[in-house]
Structure 1
Amino acid sequence: MSLKDKDCMPREELEKLQLKRLKETVERAYYLVPFYRKKFDERGIKPEDIKSLDDLKKLPFTTKQDLRDNYPFGLFAVPLEQVVRIHSSSGTTGKPTVVGYTRHDLEIWTEVMVRTYLMADVSEKDVVHNAYGYGLFTGGLGFHYGAEAIGAAVVPASGGFTKRQLMLMKDFGATVLCCTPSFALHLSEVAKEEGYKLHEDFKLRAGFFGAEPASKGLKEKVAEEWGIQYVECYGLSEIIGPGVAASCKHGNLHVFEDHFIPEIIDPETGEVLPDGEEGELVITTLTKQALPMIRYRTKDISVIHREPCPCGRTILYIESIKGRADDMLIVNGVNVFPSQVEHVITKVEGTTPNYVIVVDKKGVLDKLEVWIEVDESILRDGVGTLENLKKKLEEELLNNLYINAKVKLVEPKTLERSMGKAKRIVDRRELQ
Structure 2
Amino acid sequence: MHGDVEAATREELRTVQTDRLKRMVQQAAAVPYYAQTFEEAGVSPDTIESIDDIEKLPFTTKEDLRDNYPDKLFAVPREDIVRLHASSGTTGKPKIVAYTREDLAVWREAMARSLVAAGVSASDTVQNAYGYGLFTGGLGFHDGAEELGATVIPIGGGNTDRQIDFLEDLGSTVLSCTPSYCLYLAEAIEARGVDPHDLPLSTVIIGAEPFTDPMREEIEEALDVTAIDVYGLSEIVGPGVSIECAEAQDGLHIWEDFFYPEVIDPDTGEVLSEGEEGELVLTTLAKDAMPVLRYRTGDITSLNYDECDCGRTHVRMDNVTGRVDDLLIVRGVNVYPSQIEQAMLEFAEVAPHYRIDLRREGALDTMELTVEHHADVADVAGLAERIRKKLNSKLGVKLSELHVVEPNTIERTTVGKVQRVFDHRA
Smaller-chain TM-score bracket: over 0.9
Paired with 2:89 and 2:300, the residues of 1 have a C-alpha distance of 22
Q: Report what 1:351 is aligned to.
A: 350
Do 2:118 and 2:244's aligned partners in 1 also have CA atoms closer than 8 Å?
no
Q: Which of 52, 55, 72 matches 2:53?
A: 55
Matches within 5 A, 1:6-405: 6-30=5-29, 32-200=30-198, 202-248=199-245, 249-251=247-249, 252-378=251-377, 381=378, 385-405=379-399
Using the TM superposition, name which of 402-411 and 190-199 deviates more.
Answer: 402-411
Supply the distance in 1 between the matched residues of 2:278 and 2:308 (Cα, whole angstroms): 22
Corresponding letter in the other structure for 2:261: P
Work out the CA distance in 2 between the residues paired with 1:313 and 1:399: 39
Indicate whether 1:417 and 2:388 are aligned. no
- Deviation sequence 1:110-142 (CA, Å, 0-9, x none): 000001101133122111011000000000000
Structure-2 separation of matches of 1:166 and 1:345: 30
Shift of 1:269: 1.2
Asked whether the equivalents of residues 119 and 231 of structure 1 are also in contact (C-alpha less than 8 Å), the reply is no
Paired amino acid for 1:33: V
CA deviations over 1:364-419 (Å, ceiling 9, x no partner):
332111101122222xx3xxx11011111112222322211232112222211112
- 8 Å Cα contact 2:118-2:243 kept in structure 1: no
Measure the CA separation in 2 of the matches of 1:83 and 1:321: 32
* Structure 2 Cα separation of the partners of residues 159 and 84 of structure 1: 24
Whole-Å separation in 1 of the counterparts to 2:32 and 2:173:
47
**SS of equivalent residue, structure 1 residue 239:** coil
* CA-CA distance at 1:220 after TM superposition: 1.5
Secondary structure at 2:412 match in 1:
coil
Unaligned runs of 5+ in 2: none
1:408 counterpart = 2:403: yes
* Counterpart residue type for residue 391 of structure 1: E
Q: Which moved more, 1:390-399 or 1:174-183?
A: 390-399
Amino acid at match of 1:73: D
RMSD across aligned C-alpha pairs, in angstroms?
Answer: 1.2
Secondary structure of 1:110's aligned partner: helix
Quote the Cα distance in structure 2 between the aligned partners of 1:321 and 1:301: 6
Q: Do structure 1's residue 428 and structure 2's residue 424 form an aligned pair?
A: yes
Q: Give the letter aligned to residue 90 of structure 1.
A: S
Matching residue's letter, 1:165:
Q
Q: Which runs of 4+ in 1 moved over 3 A?
A: none
Distance 1:422 1:41 in 2: 41
- Gap runs ≥5 in structure 1: none
Deviation at residue 354 of structure 1 after TM alignment? 0.7
Please give the alpha-carbon distance, in whole angstroms, between the structure 2 residues aligned to 1:364 and 1:310.
52
Alpha-carbon distance, 1:85 to partner: 0.5
Offset of residue 192 of structure 1: 0.5
Counterpart CA distance in 1 for 2:337 and 2:167 is: 30
Q: Supply the AA of the counterpart residue of 1:5.
A: D
Question: Could you tell me how far apart the structure 2 residues matched to 1:112 and 1:389 are?
Answer: 45
